[in-house]
Structure formats: C-alpha cells, structure tokens
Amino acid sequence: MANNPMQQFTVNKIGPEIKIAGIDLSFTNASLFMLISASLILLLLFFGSKEKKIIPNKIQLIAELFYTFVAKMISDTAGSKAKPYFPFIFSLFMFVLFCNMVGMLPYSFTVTSHIIVTLIMALFIFIAVTIIGFLKHGFKYLSIFVPSGVPAILLPLITVIEIISYLSRPVSLSVRLFANMMAGHTMLKVFGGFVVSLGILGGWLPLSFSVALTGLEILVAFLQAYVFAILTCIYLNDALNLHH
Amino acid sequence: MTIPDDFKTRLKIAKSKIKKDIDSDKEKRGSFMGNAFKLGTELVAAVAVGTIIGFILDNWFGTKPWLIIIFFFLGAAAGMLNVIRAANKMQKD
C-alpha cells in the first residue's frame, strides 16, 4: 500500500485487455466491485424471498426492510402515480447503497467515488425523467420552465434561469455523491497515514479520529444513497404531476 | 363473539399511539442531514452549469468574454433559486 491517499482511487485492469471497435472494455477493479455489489444485492433478495414466512428470519427481515423503506419513500415524495417506477428506484437505491457500503471495507474499491459512474447514473435519470415528462404531458411539459405569476418583462430572464436550474440537476446529483464518497475516503486514508507516521507514541489521537470517521462514513454512505434515491423521486414527481 | 368494551378502547389507544410514533418519526428521520448535504452542491452546480453554457455559447458566437460573464450570473441566480426552493420544501415538510 502506497502512502499516497489518492492511490485507492486508481482503476487497474484485471486480466487481458479487451478492445471492441477502438473502445477499451477491459475488466477492471471497478467492474469487479460493481459485480460484487450487484451479486450481494441479488443474494440478499434471493435468500430474503426464498422462505416467505409470516414471522421472518433475519435475512428476510432485512430484505423486507429495504422494500418497505423504498416503497414508503416513493409514496411519500412522488405519490401513487410513481408506483410503476418502483423497480427502477429500488435497484438504483440498492446499487448505490451497496457500492458505498462495499467501499467501506478495507482494501476494497469504491465505485461511487468516480464521477463517471455517478454522472452516468444521474444523466440516465435526467434523460429518463425528461422523456417521461414529455410522454405524459406532451409539449405542456415545457411549462415547468415558465413559472406562473411572473411579469412579462422578466419572463425571458426567468425562463433562462429555470432552464439552467433544470440542467444543473444531473450535475448536482452526481457531484454530491462522488464528492462525498471521495472526500470521506481520502480523509480516512490521510488519518491512517498519520497513525503510521506518528508511531506508537503519537498515533493514538489520529487512530481515534479514524475510528470516529469510519462511523461517520458509514452514515454518509447510507445517507448519500438515500439522498440519491429521494432526489430521483422528487424529479420523477415533477415530471408526473405538473404543477407550477 | 363480541369484543368487550374495555378491549375496544385499549385497541383504540394503542392504534393512536402507533400513529403518533410514525408521524413523529417522519419528521425526524434522516432527511435533516440529507438536506444539509443537499444545499451546498445545489448552489455550486447551477453556477458551474451556467458558466459552461456561457463558455460554449461564447465559442459558438465568438463573443468572448461577454456571454460567459452573463451566464455566470444567471447560473448564480439559478443556484439561489434552487436553494430557496429546497429550503421552502424543507419548511413545508
């Protein structure tokens, strides 16, 4: 392990290099940890729904907890119209959560600490929500850029501001998740480095910080997955129920 | 079989207690911290997007540096609008 706290974010190829039509599709440690997170989710949900008991065992309880948590979040923020989108938001939430949590294990790789991963997810949500809005409301969907009760002189200015605000959604969504994960992991590594360099005499203080930060990071990992999912619900709500 | 009266009232009390718990839970739960994290990026992202749009349009029309300045301020306005909206939503909840 190198001393550089940014070392943990490097993407390494695993196995042979695969190139298809000039695009590098090699299997990397990022793909490996995405695969691990996805299979952990599948395993949890498979074993959680295998024995459908009235009094659930532990694993079924966890799976049901996740289910009700997401279902409640969707019905609270986006209403009953968003029910058909439950599978999408559930998989999104679970994937982000598990990527964050798997990243908390020592020697692992945090997929969500790379902006390309979070940006792709955010852009997908953004484009999907825009398409849903246009499908549901036709060109009336453009009225979200024109708030009611604005004087005619200000209207062009406000419309431009609204469009910028709308376009900033995927940026804020992706940067929030990526920045939180990267900053937290860098900080953990920096404090870990202090423990080593201060030795057995002075290393106890940064070590205690490190322990506290690990707790905080686990909270952040959960919270960021929650925020990511709830903002998706809010954007979906804007597209489904047009009211401005 | 009829349900005795005192059981009915006890059931009522218990049910209302559960409802109260759920309601107070909703207010407290998580969203407080989530909102705190939300506001900062909301403000910065709109400024960044505005500046990028200005930069692209400047390159397009060859009007350097005027559009980037204008869109920087429009982006800042959009960021403030985002924050005000988020804060309003927080107060309503």
Distance CA A29, CA A10 (A): 9
Using a CB-CB distance cutoff of 8 angstroms, which residues of chain A are in contact with residue B82? 165, 168, 172
Q: Which residues of B touch A160 (CB under 8 A)?
A: 74
B86: closest CA of chain A, how far (Å) = 11
Token pair of B82 as six digits: 């985002």
| Percent of chain A residues past pLDDT 70, beyond the cut | 98
Number of domains in chain A: 1
Which of B41, B70, B88 to mutate to test binding with chain A, by most A CBs within 10 Å of its CB?
B41
**In the structure encoding, which two tokens stand for residue B17, read together?**
């207690």
Token pair for A39: 């299979």
pLDDT score recorded for residue A12: 82
Q: Which residues contact A30 (CB under 8 A, 6 or more apart)?
A: A11, A109, A111, A114, A117
Per DSSP, which regions of chain A are E strands?
Answer: 19-20, 23-24
**Mind listing the pLDDT tens digit for each residue in A15-65?**
787 778 777 778 888 889 999 999 999 999 998 888 877 788 888 889 999
| ipTM reported for the complex, 2 dp | 0.71
pLDDT range class, residue A87, cuts 50, 70, 90: very high
User: Is A224 an 8 Å CB contact of chain B?
Assistant: yes
Q: Give the nearest chain A residue to B82 (CA atoms).
A: A165
Residue A49 DSSP SS3: coil
- Please list, in sequence order, all residues whose beta carbon lies within 8 angstroms of the beta carbon of residue B51, skipping any fewer than 6 positions away: B68, B71, B72, B75
Q: What is the pLDDT of residue B85?
A: 83
| pLDDT at B16 (0 to 100) | 77
What mean pLDDT value characterizes chain A? 87
pLDDT digit string (tens) for B47-86?
A: 999 999 999 999 989 888 888 999 999 999 999 988 888 8
Helices (H), A138-203: 155-202
Top-confidence residue, A18 or B4: A18
- Look at B41 and A167 and tell me if their CB atoms are within 8 Å: no
User: What's the pLDDT tens digit per position in B34-56?
Assistant: 666 677 788 888 999 999 999 99
List the structure tokens of A63. Answer: 């799976």
- Predicted local confidence at residue B26, as pLDDT: 47
What average pLDDT does this structure show over A189-201? 86
Rounded CA-CA distance B31/A5 in Å is 31
H or E segment to which residue B76 belongs: helix B66-92
Q: How far is CA B49 from the centre of its chain?
A: 19
- CA B32 to chain A, closest CA, distance in angstroms equals 10
pLDDT value for B93: 65
- Residue A191's domain spans which residues? 7-240
What does the CA dihedral B60, B81, A244, A92 come to, rounded to 10 degrees?
A: 80
Would residue A2 count as lying in a domain? Answer: no
* Residues in a beta bridge with A108: none
Rounded distance between C-alpha atoms, residue A8 and residue B44, angstroms: 26
Per the domain annotation, does A184 fall within a domain?
Answer: yes
A20 φ, ψ (degrees, to nearest 5): -120, 120
Considering the domain boundaries, does residue A1 fall inside one?
no
Contact B51, B78 (CB under 8 A): no
Beta bridge partners of A13: A28
The answer to whether the CB atoms of B38 and A227 lie below 8 A apart is: yes
Q: Tell me, what's the pLDDT at B35?
A: 66
Say whether A167 and B53 touch across the interface (CB within 8 A): yes
Band (A218; pLDDT cuts 50, 70, 90): very high
pLDDT recorded at residue B28: 45
**Could you report the per-residue pLDDT of A110-131, keeping only the tens digit for each?**
999 999 999 999 999 999 999 9
pLDDT-derived band at B3, boundaries 50, 70, 90 = low
Instruction: Tell me whether residue A226 is in a domain.
Output: yes
The CA distances from residue B7 to A236, B13, B14, B17, B20, in Å, are 44, 10, 10, 15, 20
Structure confidence at residue B24 (pLDDT)? 47
Say whether A165 and B71 touch across the interface (CB within 8 A). Answer: no
